[in-house]
Amino acid sequence: MGNVSMLVVCVAVIFSLVSVSQTAPVSQTCEELLKPLEMKTTDPLNGNWYLIASSNNQKGARTWLKLLMKNMWSQISPMPLPNMVSNSFYVKPWDGSCFSYNFNMTLEDNKLKWTYTGPMTSGFLSTCPDCLILETKFTIHGNTYTSMDLYSRRREITAGELLHFKTQADCRKLSSLIEIKSTTEHCPVTAESIPNMEENLQKLADVMERDNVNGSQPGVLEQGLVLQVNAQQVAPDRQTRQRQYQKAEVATT
């Protein structure tokens, strides 16, 4: 389910679930569309969820999603404590490689809470019956941002269901939607976990925030991401990809 950068964006990125209502009638107001969905237990969260679309008001998050994340799915599992779940993300970047990331989430006062480059809090919004919208709030260096992420049990939803989500994002005045290639092949559960993922995500979040403050055009982050993509069309091995990422990181400083 959420997101601050990659997973923040990606995390952000983070999940969906059972909900209510199909398409949004034209007569629905923003107040009705943004009414929180009650989530009393974590039971409906368990299982597999595919990221369908995302919207975010943090500068750089949209670029990261467009350039670096081909698709993502999430596997949520119960934990011994009744109000906690384990969330495993499986992300396929632009080069076709795979990586995973795992963290725990707590359901408190009808909201999911976890730590991902900082405290994250997600509320639930109504959407299609086998979907869930997570509206996530996160703070970086004192600046608060909002992301909306639409997940579904299905890899593809209807145009009406997507329009419902777009209207909700418009009500929050978020950026235009990024639709994820959810029908393409996803990463397996055996995908490698990236070492020092939290540290890397924090660095990415810091770069995105620095770009926000500087207001550079085009953004510092965008330049770095383009360098990553253009450095080599498809890196032949992990070592080469890591060198590309390091080169792009230097270029953004």
Residue-wise pLDDT for 182-218, tens only, equals 899 999 999 988 766 666 666 666 666 665 544 444 3
Model confidence pLDDT, tens digit, residues 42-83: 999 999 999 999 998 877 777 767 667 889 999 999 999 989
Q: Which range has the worst mean pLDDT, 46-60, 72-86, 132-146, 228-242?
A: 228-242
| CATH topology for the 30-179 domain | Lipocalin (2.40.128)
Closest to 17 (Cα-Cα) out of 35, 32, 7, 2: 2
pLDDT at 229 (0 to 100)? 37
Report the mean per-residue pLDDT for the chain: 75
Model confidence pLDDT, tens digit, residues 86-98: 999 999 988 888 9
Indicate yes or no: pTM above 0.85: no
Between 5 and 50, the more confident residue is 50
> Cis omega (within 30 of 0) on the bond before 36?
no
Q: What is the rounded CA–CA span in Å between residue 111 and residue 74?
A: 18
Between 221 and 1, the more confident residue is 1
Collapsing DSSP to helix, strand or coil, 232 comes out as coil
Contact 193, 100 (CB under 8 A): yes
pLDDT at 169 (0 to 100)? 95
Extract the runs of DSSP E, i.e. beta strands, from the chain. Answer: 47-56, 69-78, 84-93, 99-108, 111-115, 119-125, 131-140, 143-152, 178-179
Q: Which range has the worst mean pLDDT, 91-100, 142-151, 169-178, 204-213?
A: 204-213
Token reading at 95: 């080069």
Residue ranges covered by each domain of the chain: 30-179, 197-251
Work out the pLDDT band at 108, boundaries 50, 70, 90.
Answer: very high
High-pLDDT (> 70) share of the chain, %:
64
